[in-house]
Amino acid sequence: MIAKLGRLVASLPIPRHLRDGVEAAFVVVAPERHLKTDELLALANQHQPDGILMSLGMPMRAEHIAQLPASVRVLATTSVGYDHIDIAAANARGIVVCNTPDVLTDATADTHMLLLLGAARCAKAHVRNMDGGWKIRNGFFQGLGVDVTGKTMGIVGMGRIGRAVADRARGFRMPILYHNRNRLSPDLEAGARYFPSLDEMLPHCQVLSLNLPGGQGVLMTRERFAQLPKGAIFVNSARGSLVDEEALVEALKSGHLGSAGLDVFQKEPNFDTRLNDLENTFLLPHVGSATIETRTAMAELAIDGIVAVLSGRTPDNVVQA
């Protein structure tokens, strides 16, 4: 029998199709439901694991990291974003943190286009109509959205997901503008126009697309929404923390924004329901990466990260503070 690499505590249930592989590598303690941070900490202190598998939606701040047992050497989150983890605090205790980049790029970019199309084409009202048995018969000039094809898209954050969104948007013949910390090489830019200043890009964006990591404060303020052209569509599949939601509600109510497609919110799941009460929104419950293939690949990548660290290797998906 091959010796196990150590003990693994998970904050989420591990599905059957992954379980045998995980149990071959580790002594596994996995719950039947998603745990909250304090429940995970209690389980970790009870079982003294070498590795922890956790997910989004559970903060792991400095005060939580301080409560982890000394046995923990690696913490892997089944998400590309890691703004819920205090990386510096983890590293200071010698804990390596891994995430799940790349494998969710396509699924997230697909969801992003779903948000854009849903917002542009009044999908919420039409789905509600069908749910109600198609009681509203739209006249020729009723229930109309706006075209997406040919509209100019400004992308904030031209990393892997931003570029995958640009690829899809080009299929809709959308000219692409982007704002990023650094200008991309011409092959990655693929014809997109770079704006070193977000404020200078905003007036040109008929669609504004947020595709950057969270944890960098509020980017879309009242002033910035005001710089978008009237009728612009706002799409966010990145993080709710990047947006002043009060300002977003105002801009949608006034009609300055034509519509918004949102997968992420300041507070999840207790989001600001005024956003759903508005007719010109299309909302999803943070499901950017939620496909069978992608979630399986994310779990595998996170687990591979734990295997690598506990085998004395440095995996590619280590997050740097």
Q: How many residues bind ligand GLV (CB under 6 A)?
A: 7
Q: Which is nearer to ligand GLV, 34 or 170 (CB)?
A: 34
- Which residues are catalytic, by number? 239, 268, 286
Q: Helix (H, G, I), strand (E, B), or coil: what is residue 102? A: coil
Q: Which residue stretch of 79-87, 160-168, 177-185, 272-280 sits at the interface with ligand GLV (rule: CB under 6 A)?
A: 79-87
The helix or strand, by DSSP H or E, that contains position 312, with its residue range, turns out to be none
**Cα(first)–Cα(last) distance of the chain, in Å?**
38
Q: Which residue stretch of 60-68, 75-83, 135-143, 277-285 sits at the interface with ligand GLV (rule: CB under 6 A)?
A: 75-83
Do the Cβ atoms of 74 and 310 come closer than 8 Å?
Answer: yes
Rounded to an integer, what distance in angstroms lies between the CA atom of residue 84 and that of residue 90?
12
Output the smallest distance, CB 213 to ligand GLV, in A.
8
80: contact with ligand GLV by CB under 6 A? yes
Output the smallest distance, CB 297 to ligand GLV, in A.
12
Dihedral Cα 320, 187, 214, 40, nearest 10 deg: -50
Strand order in the sheet with 6-10: 26-29, 6-10, 51-54, 74-77, 96-98
Among positions 99-138, residues that touch ligand GLV (CB under 6 A) are 104
162: contact with ligand GLV by CB under 6 A? no
Q: Which residue stretch of 78-86, 157-165, 196-204, 267-275 sits at the interface with ligand GLV (rule: CB under 6 A)?
A: 78-86
Q: Give the one residue of 288, 302, 303, 309 binding ligand GLV; rule: CB under 6 A.
A: 288
37: contact with ligand GLV by CB under 6 A? no
Do the Cβ atoms of 314 and 84 come closer than 8 Å?
Answer: no
Dihedral Cα 249, 252, 84, 161, nearest 10 deg: 180
Task: Tell me the residue type at 177.
Answer: L
Sign (positive/negative) of CA torsion 244, 246, 247, 249? positive
Q: Which is nearer to ligand GLV, 53 or 177 (CB)?
A: 53
317: contact with ligand GLV by CB under 6 A? no
289: contact with ligand GLV by CB under 6 A? yes
CB atoms within 10 A of CB 59: 13
79: contact with ligand GLV by CB under 6 A? yes
Q: Which is nearer to ligand GLV, 251 or 319 (CB)?
A: 319
Q: Which residue is nearest to ligand GLV (CB)?
A: 81
**Backbone angles phi and psi of 133, in degrees to 5:** 85, 25
Q: Which residue stretch of 14-22, 73-81, 111-119, 160-168 sits at the interface with ligand GLV (rule: CB under 6 A)?
A: 73-81
Output the smallest distance, CB 80 to ligand GLV, in A.
4
Rounded to an integer, what distance in angstroms lies between the CA atom of residue 239 and that of residue 214?
5
DSSP code for 204: G
Q: Interface with ligand GLV by CB under 6 A: which residues?
A: 56, 79-81, 104, 288-289
